[in-house]
A = this chain, B = another copy of it.
Amino acid sequence: MRLINVAAAQLGPIQKGDTRDAVVSRMLALMDGAKSRGADLIVYPELALTTFFPRWYVEETAEADRWFEKTMPNEATAPLFERARSYGMGMSFGYAELTEDGHHFNTSILVDQSGTIVGKYRKTHLPGHAEYSKERSFQHLEKRYFEPGDTGFKAWRTMGGIFGMCICNDRRWPETYRVLGLQGVEMVLIGYNTPAVNPLRDAEGPSERLFHNRLSVQAGAYQNSAWVVSVAKAGIEDGHHLIGGSLIVNPAGEIVAEAKTEGDELLVHGCDLDDTVFGKKTVFDFARHRRIEHYGLISEQTGVIAPE
């Protein structure tokens, strides 16, 4: 048995006017709660320090730089690193990253129990669009404010297991989990900010969005025999509704914990990393069953080429 007690720390909304200090206070309160429940690792969502600013259009993207972090840790987030280290707790959260040479990424980090950043992931699958879109009921400008990540899907051996990360829209793409699975990933950490309504189809509301959230995460877990911890920023943020539905899913694809609110909420579950072994040695024993000679299109061809 290799037990990791994981806390999925869902955040309620962060309004445009909220300071990073105010947000970090909420994150620390969740960390205290996780400690009292014996957590070894706490997972916060995508863009955990700010509002989901890609919903706002600005002409000059430099105006959005105030939502980005130039260093990590920095003054605002140092208390998170300090408290996690003092608790001997690992930590993961997402933030907007502005690099020294001026690149913008939607990023998440994995921090081990000594407070060291052992993994950094930059979001690969940016949804939405780059220019103002009149046909949408609201904007989703991730392709404007971020570049596609340059890290790929890397897995890290740390804290007694093999961990990977991905962010929001990445979780809908089976390629995400499979690249991690081919590195033997045992636990995938996901953060997301997902509008509760499809901006291109009003009829697609919260229940369908929550269904797709579950379906994607459960399939990724099952098909790679890995734990998945998927954590929302939720609720009414600057007048826009984000789904909750944070999940912990076991390597059989079954939900073992699910958030009930759209506010700050903690799910804690003891995950035995050895539960990943059965699936990895039987139905999903990749070495015995995969037939890569028939998978070429997946990495050779980006878009659809239909038959004549």
Contact = CB atoms under 8 A, between A and B. Distances in A.
B302 A299 contact: no
A307 B124 contact: no
B299 A295 contact: yes
Contacts of A172: 223, 283-284
B155 A307 contact: yes
A146 B79 CA distance: 60
Contacts of A290: 125, 173, 175, 302-303
Given A175-B298, A286-B303, A307-B155, A253 B215 contact: yes
Q: What interface size band does chain A fall in?
A: 35 or more
A183 B304 contact: yes
Q: Which of A284, A289, A293, A305 has the most CB of B within 10 A?
A: A289
Contacts of A190: none
Contacts of A208: 252
A75 interface: no
A212 interface: yes
Contacts of A184: 304-307
Nearest to A252: B208
Q: How many chain copies does the complex carry?
A: 2
B127 A283 contact: yes
B127 A298 contact: no
A123 B162 CA distance: 32
Given A127-B289, A298-B298, 10 more contacts: A126-B289, A154-B307, A155-B306, A174-B175, A174-B219, A175-B178, A175-B290, A175-B298, A216-B222, A290-B302
26 contacts: A125-B290, A125-B291, A152-B294, A154-B307, A155-B306, A157-B307, A169-B283, A172-B283, A173-B290, A174-B174, A174-B175, A174-B219, A175-B295, A179-B297, A183-B306, A184-B307, A200-B278, A201-B278, A208-B252, A211-B253, A212-B222, A218-B219, A286-B302, A287-B302, A288-B303, A295-B299
4 A-B pairs with least C-beta separation: A287-B303, A174-B174, A219-B219, A184-B306
